[in-house]
Structure 1
């Protein structure tokens, strides 16, 4: 039986906190690539990997405990029209941890990859099956729709290629790529024609940068790291999204800073990582010029958001309160089966 006191005081970690793991893992991968290309200290990347693993362990344990201590809160999140999509990040984060530990233990990396991929496929199919039934409030259509399958497939492809299974990774890339195009058309129609996003949902626009950027990294991984027109197109579209987000930054920032701003980090780190990898084959080309700038900006972004998050933790404002007003975003109207 759940202890009411413990239920009230236990930190209720939302599934969106897995986005912290994605941002840290992305920065760790950037530093690993920077060590290979620019001979920057390898220790920085490995320390970031260790921090990523610790963050993943802590968030996974706390989120899992929420299902035991406050199951009603966890179930409410699972059927929420926006928050539920973040649950898919649990599998994505696990696969990124697998990539991080690969140089130290291949068996552990493969085990984590299989667990993360299985969760990603299961949750992505379940969630998409609910979405295809229709009846969705347009106000709930945000870039979080990319998370279950687009982010899951692209990251799965990256890690499959990392462990030496690029053909399986190519299948994952195809799933993520075409799902991205389909979801983007729905999302842009909503942004162009429906009422403006509520301030609380505006930081989710940071996810908009991730599909082309992470897709570029996935394409490089499954294609043997060959630079060509396709990867340049993906990077170009990611740069366009980044510029649009900068242009809209004041409007987005009407929502006070919170953990939701980690949504910007995975796309930013993936964009920097893609340009670093492409610059290897052309040290005097456009990507070689962009890579150092994007690498510095990715570091500033992640470290700045991390510092702000630590500040929220210290002041007791990081975790959602035990009781909150009803959300303006509706729960999923269909029976979630």
Structure 2
């Protein structure tokens, strides 16, 4: 029976990013605004169930459809989504932290080490050259930028903010280097094929997640750097809205790429409002929180409908369907 199930793409782990990000936002909102705490815990539970299901399916993929799994991890674009596996493992670890410190420690440590190892392996391989310009997309942020920034948040949550600051520096500097390459590709090379355009949603995540990581590894009200990150994250969000008509296509799980940036932006702003009155952060916090809920809830409904209709999983492995694009 397993041969009838298409290989589950690693990109599906982006669903966990959005759900765990929204659950974190609800936890902050429950503390700050007195909203029902059970909503955040329910969202975190859903994120955990989705993560566990995907972990099992991805393991079965390597057992029963090894060629598809190998093709994905060797693909110049799809390989970067594999970084989401250790990244989401850390997010689920943080979700479990209020309930079991040992489980949280295990998941965050395993996820952090796995993310670091994969980032070094993947980007070390890229340094050998020979990569097509058409394969340069925002997914390049995932193995080093997203992985290190989430590691910074996780280490701080475990009580090691000094270690988190090391990961914060690694993530931010990797973001600054990669952004110039990615923007250069978007400006000067041929336009992204329609199938890859939803990956532009990742473009707004680095400044938003960097702001959330900065809040995690520091204390006190927002300073100059926090406002700088917020300003750039808001500009990226506006750019994402401006390009949405160009990106728009029939529903695909690729749209979950937008969720981590949206939820991280809302959560980071709310975390700073907890630390004291700030007119800018205070005014934006409820608006961004509402936007994050609308985006994630809308995508969750569309994903559920697609699953019930049997349209969620691809007919072919993503490494096969996108090979022509990245050639």
TM-score (normalised: structure 1): 0.94
Q: Deviations over 1:267-297 (max 9, x none)?
A: 0000000111112234351111111001001
2:281 paired residue number: 287
Say yes or no: does 1:273 pair with 2:286.
no
Q: Distance in 2 between matches of 1:326 and 1:211?
A: 24
1:137 paired residue number: 132
Quote the offset at 1:10 in angstroms: 2.0
Q: Deviations over 1:140-160 (max 9, x none)?
A: 110000000100000000010
Say yes or no: does 1:159 pair with 2:149.
no
Say yes or no: does 1:13 pair with 2:8.
yes
Say yes or no: does 1:175 pair with 2:176.
no
Contact 1:272-1:298 at 8 Å conserved across structures: yes
The count of corresponding residues between Structure 1 and Structure 2 is: 325
- TM-aligned CA distance change 1:287 to 1:135, over 3 Å: same
2:182 paired residue number: 187
Matched position secondary structure for 2:177: helix
Say yes or no: does 1:303 pair with 2:297.
yes
Contact 1:32-1:42 at 8 Å conserved across structures: yes
- TM-aligned CA distance change 1:225 to 1:23, over 3 Å: farther
Q: Which deviates further from its counterpart, 319-328 or 110-119?
A: 319-328
User: What 5-or-longer segments of structure 1 have no aligned partner?
Assistant: 332-337
Q: Distance in 1 between matches of 2:263 and 2:321?
A: 34
Q: Distance in 2 between matches of 1:226 and 1:165?
A: 20
1:243 paired residue number: 238
Quote the offset at 1:326 in angstroms: 6.5
4+ aligned runs moved over 2 Å, structure 1 = 280-284, 322-327
1:334 paired residue number: none
- TM-aligned CA distance change 1:227 to 1:83, over 3 Å: same
Say yes or no: does 1:49 pair with 2:44.
yes
1:78 paired residue number: 73
Matched position secondary structure for 1:248: helix
Counterparts of residues 198-277 of structure 1 (less than 5 Å): 198-224=193-219, 226-253=221-248, 255-277=249-271
User: What 5-or-longer segments of structure 2 have no aligned partner?
Assistant: none
Q: Distance in 2 between matches of 1:311 and 1:202?
A: 22
Contact 2:193-2:325 at 8 Å conserved across structures: no
- TM-aligned CA distance change 1:205 to 1:327, over 3 Å: same
More helix by share: 2
Q: Deviations over 1:84-115 (max 9, x none)?
A: 00000000000000100000011110000111
- TM-aligned CA distance change 1:263 to 1:225, over 3 Å: farther
Q: Distance in 2 between matches of 1:112 and 1:220?
A: 22
Counterparts of residues 33-44 of structure 1 (less than 5 Å): 33-44=28-39
Matched position secondary structure for 2:324: coil
Q: Deviations over 1:207-266 (max 9, x none)?
A: 01110000001001011254211111101100000000101110010x321100000000
Matched position secondary structure for 1:133: coil
